[in-house]
Amino acid sequence: MQLDISTGRVVIVGAGQAGAELAGALRSQGFAGSITLLGDERYPPYRRPPLSKAFLAGEVSLESLYLKTADAYEKQGIQCMLGTAVERIDRDAHRICLADGSVLPYDKLGLATGGRARKLPLPGATHSNVHYVRNIEDIQRLRTQFEAGRRLVIIGGGYIGLETASVAVKAGLHVCVIEGLPRVLARVTVPEISAYYESVHRARGVEIRTGVGVRALDGARKVEALVLTDGQRVDADLVVIGIGLVPNTELAEAAGLEVSNGIVVDAHLLTSDPDIVACGDCTFHENVFYQRRMRLESVPNALEQARVAAANMIGKPAAYSAVPWFWSDQYDLKLQMVGLSEGFDQFVVRGAMEKDRFVAFYLREGVVISADAVNRPQEFMVAKRLVAERVKVDAARLIDESSSLKDVMADIAHARIAQI
Ligand SMILES: Cc1cc2nc3c(=O)[nH]c(=O)nc-3n(C[C@H](O)[C@H](O)[C@H](O)COP(=O)(O)OP(=O)(O)OC[C@H]3O[C@@H](n4cnc5c(N)ncnc54)[C@H](O)[C@@H]3O)c2cc1C
């Protein structure tokens, strides 16, 4: 169905970064019909990254997390229905059904349902001193127990676990991270970067145990110790679980949409129903740049997908081709990563890891396919271009600090022009 740009009705399920951006992008791209944004959390759309960083540290207010004020949505004619869970999509009747029995008709529907923290399937995981790090309430609850001198055990050595560790150590807690794989960040980076982050954390007092899982949570009314798969016990006053995300796909699945590791969407963010788009953490999407499907959990992905989805909703064909990128803040280290390093055949480092300022490049057949930058934001911007433009470059030039990366990029551009 073609969406009438003046009188059409758009309903968006999920008021996170993707849902809010989808609503805003529809307006900025010229859609003048009605937009209803529904979210089951009671807060206006907010940023999640500070939850494991400045908000957990108590350095920023709750309001600073909000993407926009309530007025701003009103001014844009976006009706926000917060604290409202969508229970069912009736695709035949083109309407959604809410818990109180009411229904909302749509011409086009956007699904931006994100994901939820993966639960630890062990008895004791629901005790009051066991925590997850996904939403505002998780952090408000965790902060009441975040006291100097307490023993915090973090299950999971991914970004969320390590960011939480860095805030906790600064707050004076004794921190132990348990990671089942042989190294931290194993799913997202190479052994060199994992080793770097392990040494960073250990140097600041975090105990890291890798290659060992959790067999049991011990304690009658609250967890007092963790029993590891190697039989060792680790005493705990509180526990944080950071073992990944489960995409919220149930609504889509029940409506008969194709789902597989996320809501399946094509390069235009269209689901298997042409009147329904999806964007953000919940999508298993076709990425034109990589020519394959993937699911990503990052703010840049949520925002860019939302803009592409908005364009397609209003009949301006656009394809999602962004190169994935992500950041993580731990202590005074800003890590920025671009591209996917899978299949690299060369790994080089510009700068010194021991000085906490470097860019690691991953190349395949001489082409830069990915980069991780620590405390080098300007060079990261150039690295992003190198990856996006699939630039072939001599690795020796990348690591030669006597010339700037900008110069390297400029030389490549000149050489390309000379070839034309
Ligand atoms: C602690 C933490 C730190 C992070 N740090 C970074 C970082 O440093 N850099 C980075 O790039 N990314 C980071 N991320 C990831 C980033 O926040 C997510 O990728 C982004 O929030 C995804 O947005 P989204 O809108 O797709 O999903 P979400 O933010 O999950 O929003 C989806 C919303 O939809 C709601 N919803 C689901 N089902 C329904 C329903 N049936 N009815 C109504 N509402 C529903 C959900 O409750 C939720 O509010 C972090 C995430 C977390 C949790």
Nearest CA to ligand 1 atom 50: 49
pLDDT at position 413 over 80: no
The CA distance from 415 to 359, in Å, is 24
Say how many Å lie between the CA of residue 263 and the centre of ligand 1: 15
pLDDT at position 306 over 70: yes
pLDDT at position 285 over 80: yes
Q: Please choose, from the candidates 7, 22, 107, 114, the residue with its C-alpha nearest in 3D space to the C-alpha of residue 73.
A: 22
CATH placement of domain 119-243:
3.50.50.60
Whether residue 134 has its Cβ less than 6 Å from ligand 1: yes
Whether residue 328 has its Cβ less than 6 Å from ligand 1: yes
Say how many Å lie between the CA of residue 212 and the centre of ligand 1: 29
Say how many Å lie between the CA of residue 283 and the centre of ligand 1: 12
CA torsion sign for 258, 264, 268, 271 is positive
Average confidence (pLDDT) over 159-174: 98
What is the per-residue pLDDT for 100?
Answer: 86
Q: With respect to CATH, is domain 335-419 assigned 3.30.390.30?
A: yes
Q: Which of 84, 277, 297, 333 to mutate to test the pocket of ligand 1 (most atoms within 8 A of CB)?
A: 297
Pair 121, 24: CB distance under 8 Å = no
Q: Report which secondary-structure segment, H or E, holds 216.
A: strand 214-218
Nearest CA to ligand 1 atom 28: 114
CA dihedral of residues 51, 57, 63, 68 (deg, nearest 10): -50
Say how many Å lie between the CA of residue 126 and the centre of ligand 1: 22
CA torsion sign for 3, 9, 10, 13 is negative
Q: Which of 100, 299, 328 to mutate to test the pocket of ligand 1 (most atoms within 8 A of CB)?
A: 299
Q: List, as one string, the DSSP characters of 346-397.
A: EEEEEEEGGGTEEEEEEEETTEEEEEEEES-HHHHHHHHHHHHTT-B--HHH
**Which of 14-23, 115-124, 386-395 bottoms out in mean pLDDT, i.e. has the lowest?**
386-395
Same CATH fold, 335-419 and 119-243? no
Q: List, as one string, the DSSP characters of 167-202.
A: HHHHTT-EEEEEESSSSTTTTTS-HHHHHHHHHHHH
pTM of structure: 0.95
Domain 9-116+246-313 CATH (choose: 3.20.20.370, 1.10.3210.10, 3.50.50.60, 1.20.1740.10): 3.50.50.60
Which atom of ligand 1 is nearest to 115's Cα? Answer: 30
Nearest CA to ligand 1 atom 31: 16
For the chain, which residues make up each domain, given as ranges?
9-116+246-313, 119-243, 335-419
Give tens-digit pLDDT for 344-388: 999 999 999 999 999 999 999 999 999 999 999 999 999 999 999
The CA distance from 259 to 159, in Å, is 26
Pair 139, 132: CB distance under 8 Å = no
In percent, the amount of the chain with pLDDT more than 90 equals 90
What is the per-residue pLDDT for 391?
Answer: 82
